Amino acid sequence: MSIEMFKELTNEQLKEECVAQGITNIRAKNPQKPNKAEYLAAIEAKLSYATTDEEVVEVKEDSVKSKRKAQSPSQLARLEAFRKDRVIVHDVQENQSKDKDELLSVSWGNRLFGGQTDLVSLNGKPQYLRRGAITNLMDATTTIHVPGKNGLGVTKEVVPRFVITEVAGLTPEELEELANKQKLRNSKHA
């Protein structure tokens, strides 16, 4: 639970929240009439020093009248574009990716998010990429030449350049391997 949701409340609402959460000792210059900052400090102390979830009293939506606006479609689009997914990227046009350790620079974005650039590894291993870069890779196409029947003529076909496979998150074995690698890396620099 974040203190941010309490900042928009009035002193009376903050006083009610303190009573609801069982906060009785508010350190204030004037103990009879604490100000907003003092109420917020008391609530924040209660939230930060709680040792278990049971000690933190959940605030019901009815008791807090939030002035937070609903997210606009542009904000939702931005959140979706920046969400990371774990994927494997294969290049169909193999003659373009000479080295399996090669990194491909993918530029994407618009006037809303600004220009963004992600580096994509073409080594066939799972990696986390932002949805905007994944969408841009899915839109990329290449032309292949397909021999006609009986060896007569050649036709050109436009096909997607990259095959993108979404995979699940890290397995426990992969997490353990990653933790060991990080321990080794940190011990070298210590």
Task: Name 179's Cβ contacts closer than 8 Å, sequence gap at least 6.
Answer: none
| pLDDT at position 137 | 92
pLDDT bucket at 134, cuts 50 / 70 / 90: very high
* Angle, in degrees to the nearest 10, between helices 11-20 and 36-49: 30
Written as six digits, the tokens of 118 are 């992600």
Domain ranges of the chain: 1-68, 73-189
pLDDT of the residue at 48: 61
140-186: pLDDT as tens digits:
998 888 888 877 888 888 888 888 888 887 778 888 888 888 888 77
pTM recorded for the entire structure? 0.52
Dihedral class, residue 20 (left if φ above 0, else alpha if ψ from -120 to 50, else beta): alpha
Reply yes or no on whether the pLDDT at 5 is more than 80.
no
Is residue 38 a contact partner of residue 28, using CB atoms and an 8 Å limit?
Answer: yes
Give the per-residue pLDDT at 53: 42
Tokens 């994927």, residue located: 87
**pLDDT exceeds cutoff 70 at 7:** yes
Least confident of 11-15, 40-44, 116-120, 121-125: 40-44
| Tokens, residue 130 | 């932002």
Q: Crossing angle for the helix pair 73-82 and 131-139, nearest 10 degrees?
A: 80
Task: Tell me the per-residue pLDDT of 46-99, one tens digit each, with 9 for 90 and over.
Answer: 766 554 444 334 443 444 444 455 677 878 888 888 888 888 888 887 766 556
